[in-house]
Amino acid sequence: MELLLLKLILAPLIIGSASLAGRRWGSSISGWLVALPLTSGPVIFILALSHERSFVFEAIGGTLSGGFSLTAYSLTYAWTARKYSWPYSITASLLIFAYLTDMLQGIVFPLLPLVLSVFAAILTGLWLMPSQLPLEGESQPGKWDIPARILIGTGFILLITGLAPAIGPRLTGLFTTIPLYVSILTIFAHRQQGHPGANSVLRGLLLGLLSFTGFYLVLGFLIEHNPLGAAFGAATLTALIVHGLSLVIVRTLRPRIQSAR
């Protein structure tokens, strides 16, 4: 019962706070914001409270591997959106994500080579993204945007943590990276601002995934032989530092885009 209450309190608190911050700063950095481990982090934390640390370590490996799928998802949507509307773009990108997720179930790397590979994939993805065109206006989320995110995110965390014993740690970790929030944000931006809007969200996501990777690098090294609070505290601090540095890049891109108008 205590664990269920923690899930019901922790998930809405984290997701709601981050969503309010994203609304305050504007939709142009929304993709960057949702790259933080807002869903996967609470899932891994809850798993650590109820499973052996070896189980959690394997789940972390699966979550990190999801960085490959998210990079491929972003590239697929961004390039498809240059010619096609959002239904075609989201279908293609989710199919690529699902295909890679299925393939990655059977591919296991040691932690450090995995992290380096994910970093390389993210940087390659940024390089391969379409050129950013000027945005037409600024998309504004509806009044039900944040409650919907909280509801979806909390339900997803309850589902994944409940299924974890049945599907195993690696698939649990891979499933935590399902692009729920970014799909909503990207579709909204695509409908309101066309391809440039979708591209802006996805470019921000890829930059933000650098902090996602840093979080799980530190957590993976510490989770098996250190107190839970110390492991998650150090991982969170690392993610915030890397995320702050990537924010500088995000903000330097905005004036360049605006000056191109």
Per-residue pLDDT tens for 56-89?
999 999 999 999 999 999 999 999 999 899 899 9
Q: Which residues of 226-256 are buried (b: 16+ CB within 10 A; e: fewer)?
A: eeeeebbebbbebbeebbeebbeebeebeee
Tally the domains of the chain.
1
Give the single-character DSSP code of 98: H
Q: Which residues of 139-160 are buried (b: 16+ CB within 10 A; e: fewer)?
A: bebeeebbeebbeebbebbbeb
Residue 221 pLDDT? 93
Lowest mean pLDDT among 22-31, 75-84, 121-130, 235-244: 22-31
Q: What does the alpha-carbon distance between residue 152 and residue 95 come to, in Å, rounded to a whole number?
A: 21
Domain range spanning residue 254?
2-259
Of the candidates 35, 238, 225, 221, the residue with the CA atom closest to the CA atom of residue 114: 221
Q: What does the alpha-carbon distance between residue 27 and residue 23 come to, in Å, rounded to a whole number?
A: 7
Q: Environment class of residue 59 by beta-carbon count within 10 Å: exposed (0-12), middle (13-18) or buried (19+)? A: buried
Residue 77 pLDDT? 96
159-203 pLDDT, tens digit each:
776 777 777 878 888 888 888 778 877 887 788 778 888 888 898
Lowest mean pLDDT among 14-18, 36-40, 65-69, 162-166: 14-18
Alpha helical stretches, state H, the chain: 2-25, 30-34, 40-50, 53-80, 86-104, 111-128, 145-167, 169-175, 180-222, 228-259
The pTM of this model reads 0.80
Phi, psi for 197 (deg, rounded to 5):
-65, -45
